[in-house]
Amino acid sequence: MNANIATRHPTFDRPSLELGSTLKPGALHLWRIDTGEGGADPDRCRTLLSETQRARVEALRHDAHRARYARALAGLNRILAAYLDRPPGQIRIERSPTGKPYLDGADRRLAFSFSHSGDLALVALSTGADAALGVDCEWIRPRASLTAIARRLFDPATVAELEAAPESERLERFHIAWTALEADVKCDGRGLFRPRPPGAVAPQIAHVVPAPGYIAAVARARLPPVETWRMLELPPSDDA
């Protein structure tokens, strides 16, 4: 669990969304979406969602949660649309039997992973050989039964390191280990409680701090150096 958090406070550029040809094989783009009250209008966001996505949004009980999720999913669609050169409403995301989202047909060349927590969502994108990747971001906040969760999900060495850490560091260390695990299982799509297939090689994992109070991990078979990643901020609207 000795994570080297390569970028504590990366600078996220706010580019034009005409990005279809800018992602080169082997490169990595990481997008940040504001899903809080400073983000896009949630009613406008709902018009950019598929029927399945709208149903997932409306299934949430609280208005604030529905607004955040609508902003996150609409942001994902806008980002994918920018690379695929089509309207966000025409983006069709499929899911594997274990739940891993992917683009089908000719769009499958674009690998992506999506995560949201608190007022933040992240989208990681890649193309080329070994493009499959996983991203996880977490809002660092107190959790009940932190040690019990760690013992259930983490390997013994990680649990021992977490329990030996000073109390003041334990919460951040837990989230570092948690995001690494989530990014890992999202990379190959096996799911949180399935073991890695025999003979499969673990992906490389790197951590960044996408915003104060958050931690994120990205996993891919071979990751480019973090300093070469393109960090991008999604504007609230295409007119921004």
pLDDT for position 116 = 97
Q: Read off the tokens for 54.
A: 């709208």
Per the structure, how many domains does the chain have? 1
Range of the domain at 208: 5-233
141-175 residue pLDDT tens: 988 888 899 999 999 999 999 999 998 899 999 99
Whether residue 239 is contained in a domain is answered as no
Tell me, what CATH number does 89's domain have? 3.90.470.20
Exposure class string for 195-229: b at 16+ Cβ within 10 A, else e? eeeeeeeebebbbbbbbeebbbbbbbbebeebeeb
How far is Cα of residue 161 from the mean position of the Cα atoms in its chain?
25
Whether residue 78 is contained in a domain is answered as yes
Whether residue 15 is contained in a domain is answered as yes
41-59 residue pLDDT tens: 999 999 999 999 999 999 9
Whether residue 238 is contained in a domain is answered as no
How far is Cα of residue 72 from the mean position of the Cα atoms in its chain?
11
> What stretches of 130-213 adopt beta strand conformation (E)?
133-139, 204-208
Q: Read off the tokens for 50.
A: 């598929």
Whether residue 10 is contained in a domain is answered as yes
Whether residue 77 is contained in a domain is answered as yes
DSSP per-residue codes, 52-78: HHHHHHHTSSSHHHHHHHHHHHHHHHH
Whether residue 56 is contained in a domain is answered as yes
